[in-house]
Every structure is written in structure tokens, then in C-alpha cells.
Amino acid sequence: APARLKESLAYSAINDPTFGDENAPLKIVEFADFECPYSKDESLIIRELQARYPGKIHFIYRDFPLDDLHPHAFRAAEAAQCANDQNKFWALHDKLYQNAERLTDLDIKLYALEAGLNITEFNKCFDERKYKDEIEIDRADGIAAGVVGTPTFFVNGRKIAGAIPMEVWQQIIARVK
């Protein structure tokens, strides 16, 4: 029973960004950090999976900023959630990872503009820290589910800590009916 509880916490992503069909045979939850170099590398693989396997994957992105190591990751996560309000999460997600070494609030606002967000709405959301609590919930759910670093994945209920090479993802996807 405790294992099922941990799994359900990882998957309780009510307001988190997703892609793919909810009924897809492969359900992937990623806990990630916008300043983590391993999350950055994995973001490119995940975007490729999104393009290659449109009907096979339901993907959920959850925030797990590691504040002690990455001082701007929490604010980047807040920004991405604000972008999600405008259906532009993935555009800003990509910009944030492409520029992970420069994530001051001013930089983030520039990336939001470049990603095509309504900057007035974005700034209001970002400056008011609308998603602070939601990110804390993601992090608490991750901790309860056993996440200690990023990226950490839950693949059809199985926890996999660390980056997963494309070849391994392809093997996982090949096994899913």
C-alpha cells in the first residue's frame, strides 16, 4: 500500500503541463529543475519523444527546483507555470533550458517576450508569484514519492532516477503495446 501511495502522489498533477493522449499506453511523469544540466539534456530527448511517438506517450512535467544548488530554478518554474496559463508552457520551457545559465528575473521576462507571451499578463502572474504554492506542492509530492534529485521519472509507475538516454527510451517504448 505505501508504494501505491507514493506512486499516486507522483501522478497527482492536476495543474501541471502535459502532452499526449491521457489514455496513451505509456505514462511518464518527470520531476525536473530548469537549472539542472541533466534536466536540460533530458528536455531535448523528451521533446524528441513528443515528436516521434505522438500516440504512445502521456507526459506530465512537474517542478522540483533544487534551491541549494540552483538559485534561479524556482523562479524559472514559476515563469513556466505562468506561460502555461497562456498555453505557451513548452515554448518557454525550451527557452529556459536553452538559457539555463542566465535565469535572472529580467532574463526570464525577456524569454517570455521572445516566446510570444502576452507580456502584461505574464508579468502580473510572475511578479505576484501566482504559482509559488503549486511548485511547493510539486516538490512535496516529489519528496513523498522518493525524488531526491533531477531529473527523476515515473514511467508507468516505476521510478527511474537520473537522465535516460534516447536508446533506453526507445527500448521502453518498444515494450509498450
User: For the chain, first and last CA: distance in Å?
Assistant: 27
The reply to whether omega before 165 is within 30° of 0 (cis) is: no
pTM: 0.91
Query: What is the total residue count of the chain?
Result: 177
Phi, psi dihedrals of residue 115, rounded to the nearest 5°: -80, 0
pLDDT at 2: 42
pLDDT at 157: 83
Q: At what angle do helices 73-85 and 132-144 cross, to 10 degrees?
A: 110
pLDDT at 7: 53
Angstrom distances, CA of residue 53 to CA of 49, 70, 97, 106, 138 = 6, 32, 22, 36, 26
C-alpha cell at 33: 529543475
pLDDT at 8: 57
Residues of the chain short of pLDDT 70, as ranges, are 1-14, 177
